[in-house]
Amino acid sequence: MGTIITFPAGRYVYSDGRGRSVDEPATIIILPVVRVDRYADDPRDGLRDGSSAGSRKRRRPTARR
């Protein structure tokens, strides 16, 4: 179902070459993503054709400084 990754205690090296001593191990748990889509019997949720506003994507206004 998931993946568990355990790193032993020891020394951690940063990307710039500096090191740091770590006294305890680290554990990462990776869980899967589950998406559940639920639809009623009528996927339009009671809306009739043409009664909704335009289906065009709306753009967010740009921030002004």
| Ordered per-residue pLDDT tens for the chain, 65 residues | 788 888 777 766 666 656 666 677 788 899 988 888 877 665 555 555 555 555 667 777 777 76
With b for 16 or more beta-carbon neighbours within 10 A and e for fewer, the 20-54 pattern comes to eeeeeeeeeeeeeeeeeeeeeeeeeeeeeeeeeee
**Looking at residue 22, what is its pLDDT?**
66
Q: What is the pTM (predicted TM-score) of this model?
A: 0.33
Q: For residues 19 and 11, is the Cβ–Cβ distance under 8 A?
A: yes
**Looking at residue 62, what is its pLDDT?**
78
Q: Which two tokens stand for residue 53?
A: 């506003």
